Amino acid sequence: MRSGWLVRTCGLVAAGVLALGVAPAAAHSIGRNAVAPEPLQKKAPPPRFAPFVGSLDDARRHATERNVALVVCAVLAGEEASDRFTQTVPQDPAYAAALAGALVIVANAGEHPAKKLEELVDGKKLVRDVCSAFFTPTCADHQKLWDPTFFAFQEQGELRCPQVIVVAPDGQVAKRISPGDVPKPGQVTSALASVAEKFGPGLSEQELATVKQAFADAEAATSRGAHADAWRAYALVVSLAPKAPQGELARKGQGTALVELAARRDAALERLAGDRPTDGYDALVALAADCKGLPNEKELVKLVADAEAKPTLRDVIAAHKKHLAAEALWKEIGELEAANQKRKAEAKIRLLIRKYWDTDAGKRARKQYPEIAADEDAKGR
């Protein structure tokens, strides 16, 4: 067998990598009048080569779902350049940093001793056994992927090793890096940057979970007719995955939500122009409140203002608003009395009698609290 070449059937092993940044600690001058320093942030653990465990198909699907590059490492056991890859890449934090955010899989048919790996998970130190070469749970995890790797990425029946293959989120090979040699971290960084420039930002595992929850929230909101809430849930997806398939699907969902909200607007305007304008006005006000922050917010605010200023509706709506305010005040009085807050309740009663005397709520207040009503009348004389 020629050094650096793999002419036999290969398979693929997966390794997912995340590089965690370390926040620099701020320097403080401590003196007699100095401000006490803020607590220093704990250093994040150094980046680590952390394999994705699963089949090649699983890795492809997950990389597409996260809109990140799939980095395939084909490494031939017992071959000089591949051995240098094994001794260098998984152990060096520079490669872990270069591979940050990508989904990495490693295909290697070798057998390696186990080692203890200490990890910090949710603030707790955990120790587990892993393959000492590639940090998969067992060597079987990287061995079983030889064949799928070869059949997927061979060229004319051969696959030169070691080889790093960058697969874009659409499943197409974007770059083969230094076939037959150990790539430099900068080469990996450059290849992944090109993919990100074309396909947009990828999703972390946590962000992917957020996106899935946002779709579930949007579906639930749509089912109960809360289309403004659905639009907001879709907006979260668009912000996290603007160029990913999820982002495009969310934009379509936003468009559907706006269509439904427009139908609700039209129904309110129809009632506003009919024989029960206050019903239409209430529906329009409620819709405007629901749609704060949405693209139709300004339009709805203007429609409410136009209705309030329209000569044929102005007085009717003004009286209706006064009625609503009085009823809200009456309700508040009841709540204050139930809470035994008598002084606050009396202040509200006086306001209701004084300002809303000509409303149903104001008349109820005068009847229920005649002494307060008489006192207010005396003040007005």
For the chain, give every domain's residue range: 5-20+37-199, 205-309, 317-380
Mean pLDDT taken over the chain = 88
Tell me how far apart the alpha carbons of residues 172 and 159 are, in angstroms, rounded to a whole number. 17
**Gap between the terminal Cα atoms of the chain:** 112
> How far apart are alpha carbons 272 and 281 in whole angstroms?
6
Our CA dihedral for 128, 133, 134, 136, rounded to 10 degrees, sits at: -40
Distance, in Å, from the CA atom of 201 to the CA atom of 215, rounded to the nearest integer, reads 19
3-state secondary structure of 15: strand
Residue range 2-10: mean pLDDT, rounded: 36
pLDDT above 60: residue 14: no
Q: Using only C-alpha atoms, what is the Rg of the chain?
A: 33
Report the range of poorest mean pLDDT among 5-14, 88-97, 270-279. 5-14
Using the CB atoms, write b or e for 309-320: b if 16+ within 10 Å.
eeeebeeebeeb
Please indicate whether residue 334 or residue 43 has the higher confidence score (pLDDT).
334
Task: Answer for the pair 50, 16: CB distance below 8 angstroms, yes or no.
Answer: yes
Per DSSP, the three-state class of 177 is strand
Give the count of beta carbons closer than 10 Å to the beta carbon of residue 181.
17
Q: C-alpha distances in angstroms, 240 versus 67, 196, 237, 294?
A: 11, 14, 5, 18
| Predicted local confidence at residue 124, as pLDDT | 82
* Residue 131 contacts residue 142 (beta carbons within 8 Å): yes
Confidence of residue 379 (pLDDT cuts 50, 70, 90): confident
The pLDDT score that the predictor gives to residue 211 is 97
Q: If we measure between CA atoms, which residue out of 240, 232, 163 comes closest to residue 207?
A: 240
Work out the percent of the chain whose per-residue pLDDT is above 90. 80
* CATH domain 5-20+37-199 topology: Glutaredoxin (3.40.30)
Best CA proximity match to 106, nearest among 190, 204, 208, 17: 17
Say whether pLDDT at 112 is over 90.
yes
**pLDDT band at 34; cut points 50, 70, 90:** very low
Angle, CA 99 vertex, CA 25 and CA 190 arms, to 5°: 105
pLDDT at 254: 98
Residue 287 to residue 355: CA distance in whole angstroms: 28
* Residue-level pLDDT at 125: 86
Average pLDDT over every residue of 161-177: 96
Q: Give the pLDDT mean for 230-240.
A: 97
Beta bridge partners of 6: 159
When pLDDT is cut at 50, 70 and 90, the band that residue 263 belongs to is very high
CA torsion 366-370-374-377 (nearest 10°) is 0
State yes or no: pLDDT of 40 exceeds 60.
no
